[in-house]
Amino acid sequence: MKSIQGGNAVQSLRFASIVLLISFSESAFSGGFEKSSFWSGRFAGIGGAASASADGADALFFNPAGLSLGNKTELSINTSPTFSKFSGPVATATPLESSMSIVPVYGLGARYKVNDKFGIGFGAAIVAGADVTYENVDFSKTTAVAGANAFDTLKPTLQAKLAVHEVGFGAGYEVLPGFRLGGSYRITIVRGALQSAALQNEDISNPADPKPSALVAVNLANLSAVSAKGYRLGAQFTDPTKKFGLGADFRSSVAFTANATSSGTSELGTFYLPSSKPVTGGDVTVGNELPLSVNLAGFVNFGSLTIFPGYTFTRYSADKNLDIAGSITLAPDHGSLVVVLPSVAQNWKNQSNYRLGAEWEQNSTLRFRAGYVYTYEAVNPDYARETFSAPGRGKTYALGVGLGSTEGVQIDATAEYNDASGTGTSEFGQVGTFTTKAYVGHLSARFRF
């Protein structure tokens, strides 16, 4: 236990410039982790190049124009458990590895065919999310502040645990033979928790009024938000021979402000002051945006082989800051000071995904698939975070299989691997290599009746 001395220094402690590590991660969005192919045993197998071929219940999320395709009522059940691991420099230039985590991704949908040209759909899915945790991070050797060697008690956990759910209602209509239009209404629900750390550098320019360095662990619990302002629009064209098709869909941006409750612990960077102490939290709001995206895709059929090219643009440049409003109050032994939590600079870049998929139809009930995605990163290397996706180019590899009749029960499965790496500068000024890896098993079942 640190001895209680130097009371004047405690009373004068001020957070003149605080660096907050709160991270909204893709995975919370592709800078964080909106994966290139989030779910679907079928479409993940072709690299997510789905806009031209999406049909049935899944079309609600991939291109609502496809809700008009097919002749039967359809129920779709999808699960895509995602195992991810992140690494990057935090307190020092030596990278830390996160614990392996799992995000239980799902997609559920139903489509009812009103008549030959018109179909309606309803569904719910996880469209973005993250579960990144670094446990017991040691700041005693950081070079970001002086006196850090005295941080011998507080070992913060850094975590971004988020899930972005979407509930949708939509319809698709065949305007002309082979030409379809569709749209859907989206309700976006955000749930999660964040754990972060903040550092304050010491100021001893005035010996009569020294300000020690400080480490503060900040927790934001029960983070939640609901937005009912989203929509998706889509169009598809298939030539009369069904040998060639094009598709395009647009997802509107969704801005939201999430409510949360703060708590935490503080420790001062001196051996002559009290050890770590709990801080008093309160209500906090966190604002961000799930940005707009545009998908373009096509397919070309060569008999048993079909090729699926695709491209996705996502406007992550809209995410300039993670806007935070709230404060914490240090314990009386640490000055009883009210510390305003600052917003976090993101300055992300627009993201591009280039997709290529292939499907080989062995017979009417067996299909093999392969997919590849090359991703231009959204995260700015000058504003890297260990809980964001790596500030470097990403690659996705997928192999899948489809079983069953396209008119009855159909089962699709895909194994997928994602990786990205790049050099960046952390929020504590540490330069190093950041990496993101994810392993996904996609499994889907479609029932038509």
Parallel, antiparallel or unpaired: strands 118-134 and 101-113: antiparallel
The Cα–Cα gap between 224 and 163 comes to 10
Q: Please give the full DSSP string across 321-368, using - where no structure is assigned.
A: EEEEE-EEE--GGGT--EEEPPPEE-----EEEEEEEEEEEEETTEEE
Total number of residues shown for the chain:
449
Res 5 pLDDT > 60:
no
User: Quick one: tokens of 276?
Assistant: 């770590």
Q: How confident is the model at residue 274 (pLDDT cuts 50, 70, 90)?
A: low
The Cα–Cα gap between 236 and 173 comes to 10
Give the pLDDT of residue 2. 37
Res 20 pLDDT > 80:
no
Q: How confident is the model at residue 8 (pLDDT cuts 50, 70, 90)?
A: very low
Q: How confident is the model at residue 194 (pLDDT cuts 50, 70, 90)?
A: confident
Give the pLDDT of residue 338. 81
Identify the top-confidence range among 19-28, 206-215, 404-413: 404-413
Res 261 pLDDT > 90:
yes
Q: What domains lie within the chain, and their CATH numbers?
A: 7-448 (2.40.160.60)
pLDDT tens track for 128-175: 878 889 999 988 888 777 776 778 888 999 888 888 899 999 999 999
Give the pLDDT of residue 35. 63
Of 54, 76, 69, nearest to 113 by C-alpha is 69
* Category of 44 on φ-ψ map: left (φ > 0), alpha (ψ -120 to 50) or beta: alpha
Contact 74, 57 (CB under 8 A): yes
Res 111 pLDDT > 90:
yes
pTM above 0.85, yes or no: yes
| Half-sphere exposure for 373 (CA within 13 Å, toward CB) | 32
The Cα–Cα gap between 265 and 328 comes to 10
pLDDT tens track for 324-365: 898 888 888 777 778 888 788 888 899 999 999 999 999 989
Q: Considering the chain, what is the average pLDDT of its residues?
A: 86
**Eight-class DSSP state of 135:** -
Q: Which residues contact 26 (CB under 8 A, 6 or more apart)?
A: 32, 33, 34, 35, 128, 129, 130, 388, 389
Give the pLDDT of residue 341. 83
The Cα–Cα gap between 101 and 81 comes to 10
Question: What is the mean pLDDT of the segment spanning 403-417?
Answer: 91
Give the pLDDT of residue 10. 42
